Amino acid sequence: MDFIKQILNNTKDIILALGLIKGLFFAFFFIMHLWIFLLYKGRIKDRQKEIDRLAAENREYRERFLAFYDEKFNYIPPKSKHGKEKEKG
């Protein structure tokens, strides 16, 4: 509660120091930019969740497709030596 009182007192001091019109404009400007920042941050978080969901779904479809493809064409993936992938060169 003391934190809120301190913020309100600081806001009042800023408004009085700048004058009523400039102080209210500053408060409005600051609040609107904070609001836009929070909206933007939330949107980015939502988009990242959507990207993660789509990546997991894509991985599932890819595995199913490759399993189907391997089954239909009797493809057996080559085993590499010592568990290492073949290097492209």
pLDDT grade, residue 7 (50/70/90)? confident
Domain ranges in the chain are: 2-74
Q: Of 12-21, 33-42, 66-75, which one has max mean pLDDT?
A: 33-42
Q: Is the pTM of this model over 0.75?
A: no
How high is the pLDDT of residue 89? 42
Instruction: Give CA–CA dist 64/45, Å, rounded.
Output: 29
- Helices 20-73 and 2-18: crossing angle in degrees, nearest 10, is 120
More confident residue, 1 or 70: 70
Q: What mean pLDDT do residues 71-75 have?
A: 84
Instruction: Inform me whether the pLDDT recorded for 81 exceeds 60.
Output: yes
